[in-house]
A and B are shown apart, each in its own frame.
Chain A
Amino acid sequence: MKNINVNTRQQLNLLLSEKLLVQKTLGNIGAVSGKIRVLYGETYDKYGIAIDSIKYYLFLEYLAKTIGNDVDCMIAEGDLHSVINPSVLEKDFLLHEGKRRTESIGKIFEVLKIRHVTVKLMSKLFAEEKIMNLVTNVSNLVNEREDLQNLLIPTVLKNKIAQERESGFRYAAEAIGLALNFDLKVGPPREENYDKVAQIIGKEVAEEYKAIYLRPSYPFTKDFSFYLTHPEVEEYGLTPYKAGSNKLQDQRIVIGVTSEEMIGDLIASAYVPQDIVYANPLVDLASMVAMNEQIRQDKIDVFELGKRIKILIQDREQLTIKILELLREVV
């Protein structure tokens, strides 16, 4: 086991404290050591890949480059988990979509020079004995302990609680079991609800649970009152990897679906509050452009990253050009 050196640790701390990119962390991230395995799990829907997913792919690469070469990041593409909810229609289409989606993500990695990240279908991951054992342990614990079940309730829609109880909170147990196989998880802030349970279970079945939550992914809106009348979206953002999250697929950029004209319009007409700590979809786009620039030039400089994001936010025209350039490559 090899601890990360002081300089790297400083860079990592700087990255984790960049509020335009990272919302919060769980556990002592600086204590990671040796070969570090990082997980980002995503499901999907029929609407395609939202640009917000790219923020996570780029972040994983950026994180790996910040820490050094002993980092392997994996995207677990939740084919089975995308159809686990009984209310999901077009299950066959979505199951097959997983394979097509992993291929698309592979191409995105290629053009964006993402070298430290791999993508794997969850159905294949769950065929691995080590992972299945951990998932089984987690499921058993959740089924035995009402306190854990109660903690998982906020992760479930109210009308689905009975159904989830009946299934032993299968979705959550599998997500937690999978995450516990890794040293570190990256995800959207809403996943903190799962992770409270993962942290408790982690102490019993694995090592300390660690997670990084990126700043929420926000939809574009011309309406200044949108975030005030949608407090949950304001707090947690949209699910980055589900393009149709909250049925707002028309208010976000979906790769290969949203036209360039529409992207220009979304960016130009978006209402954003003056203080960038509040919900602001331009920050998401700017952080993607800024990370992409440094990854391509192989010049990781966390301090410059924040400065570049702030500059890009101020110049929507430039931001639009940069985002369209990025998208033209990945489509």
Chain B
Amino acid sequence: MNNYPVEYQKKLTIKKRLTDYYREQSVKNGLVGMEKILAYTPVELQPRAMRRGLVVAQMGYEDILALISQKKPFTIVSGLNPSSQLHLGHKVLFDMLLELQQMGGELYIPLTDDESYVDGKVDKLLDGTRNAKEKIIPVLRKMGFNADKTHYLVDTEQTELYQFAIELSRYVNMAELTHLFGAESLTNPGQVFYRGCVQLAEILMPQLPQNGGPRHTLIPVGIDQHPYILLARDVAKKVGMVPPSELVMRFFPSLEDPERKMSKSSPESALFLDDKPENIRRKIKRAFTGAVGSLEEHKKFGGVPESCSVFMLQQAFNPDDVEVNNLYDRYVNGDLLMGELKEKTSELMIRELARFREGGI
């Protein structure tokens, strides 16, 4: 038995639950941890999200690294559901996509207006299409991606995508789909076609002969999207394409609860790209941290940064590795007070969003 205060033990328990969750998910899904990737890859070739621990597992990323090492091109596919506005969880992904593009990646961003509709996230199909074209793509264009190597594809406008999806339909059966996604995700024919064929086509389309033929493709995903990659790897082998590689990113935590996702449907849990400074300050001030309430106990026992939604923002967005490491050490030792962390983090996020609004990243 230790003599830690109950509140501190609770924070430790949250850290353990989060660690165990990703470890169990990785093992269960046959994914590989990041230890060796981080050990062998030079720091300058590790995207920030990777070296800060926001990428938790991978499958086949070694093949992509071999191409990066030889300065050869590769493909990245990262789909985006345009059902509502973008938040900072997306920005972590975009930052990583930008870094990977600078290492040789040609980027395909399918905007899945069809998915938005079949899942009931928008009332009309055209709402998703309009969101994609009028709200999402203009934001993405400001992210700094190389325009010559970035392809924005609004699903419902891609004849080639749907033709390919129909072709792929014969390589998947209903039993497989139900096993991978669960019956609750396949409640209408649109969901069956989207999950069973269209998403596969999005992943494999860059390998069609007219797009350059078979090649290594990297798909950054959340752990909940892993079934898509498994299916795509299986079908790729059947159709003579290269099974895609995968990087699994941890979900971006809600500001209110590090064990839940930052979500568009809960505005106080998320920072949005167009949030005003006063909103950012308010949300961060109220955010969940890994410190105990008593100052005396915090100084004595220290805090648990891994359970802190505010520190996660530092990990994801502070460009200065030395400062983040220093904050971590001070946090663990109890030298960093939450007022200082929240103030620093508010300024960081206001600055990041201002840079974004000015057209940079």
Residues of A within 8 A of B (CB): 223-225, 227-229, 234, 271, 273-275, 278-279
The B interface, classified by DSSP as helix, strand, loop or mixed, is: helix
Which residues of A sit under 8 angstroms from B69, Cβ to Cβ?
223-225
Q: How far is the CA of A228 from the CA of B45 in the complex (A)?
A: 14
Please, what's the 1-or-0 string for B55-84, where 1 marks a CB less than 8 Å from any CB in chain A? 000000011011011100000000000000
Which residues of A sit under 8 angstroms from B37, Cβ to Cβ?
228
Instruction: Name B20-78 residues within 8 Å CB distance of A.
Output: 36-37, 39-42, 45, 62-63, 65-66, 68-70
Query: In the complex, what's the smallest C-beta–C-beta distance from B236 to chain A, in angstroms?
Result: 19
Q: How far is the CA of A275 from the CA of B62 in the complex (A)?
A: 19
B41 and A224 form a contact (CB under 8 A): yes
Q: How far is the CA of A225 from the CA of B46 in the complex (A)?
A: 12
B39 and A278 form a contact (CB under 8 A): yes
Q: Which residue of B lies closest to A222 (CB)?
A: B69
Q: How far is the CA of A225 from the CA of B39 in the complex (A)?
A: 11
Q: How far is the CA of A274 from the CA of B38 in the complex (A)?
A: 10
Q: Which residue of A lies closest to B41 (CB)?
A: A224
Q: List 12 A-B contacts (CB under 8 A).
A: A223-B70, A225-B41, A225-B65, A225-B68, A227-B40, A228-B37, A228-B40, A228-B41, A228-B65, A229-B62, A229-B65, A278-B36
Query: In the complex, what's the smallest C-beta–C-beta distance from A236 to chain B, in angstroms?
Result: 15
Instruction: Known pairs A223-B66, A225-B66, A228-B36; list 17 more (Cβ under 8 Å).
Output: A223-B69, A224-B40, A224-B65, A225-B40, A225-B62, A225-B65, A227-B40, A228-B37, A228-B62, A228-B65, A228-B66, A234-B36, A271-B42, A273-B39, A278-B36, A278-B39, A279-B40
Q: How far is the CA of A227 from the CA of B37 in the complex (A)?
A: 10
Query: In the complex, what's the smallest C-beta–C-beta distance from A219 to chain B, in angstroms?
Result: 14
Which residues of B sit under 8 angstroms from A227, Cβ to Cβ?
36, 40
Q: How far is the CA of A274 from the CA of B46 in the complex (A)?
A: 14
Query: In the complex, what's the smallest C-beta–C-beta distance from B74 to chain A, in angstroms?
Result: 12
Q: Which residue of B lies closest to A278 (CB)?
A: B39
Query: In the complex, what's the smallest C-beta–C-beta distance from A84 to chain B, in angstroms?
Result: 34
Which residues of B sit under 8 angstroms from A223, Cβ to Cβ?
66, 69-70
B39 and A275 form a contact (CB under 8 A): yes
Q: Which residue of A lies closest to B68 (CB)?
A: A225
Which residues of B sit under 8 angstroms from A273, Cβ to Cβ?
39-40
Q: Which of B39, B40, B45, B66 has the most CB of A within 10 A?
A: B40
Q: How far is the CA of A224 from the CA of B40 in the complex (A)?
A: 6
Query: In the complex, what's the smallest C-beta–C-beta distance from B14 to chain A, in angstroms?
Result: 29
Instruction: Name B257-300 residues within 8 Å CB distance of A.
Output: none
Whether A224 touches B39, Cβ cut-off 8 Å, given contacts A229-B62, A229-B63, A229-B66, is: no
Which residues of A sit under 8 angstroms from B63, Cβ to Cβ?
229
Q: How far is the CA of A303 from the CA of B245 in the complex (A)?
A: 45
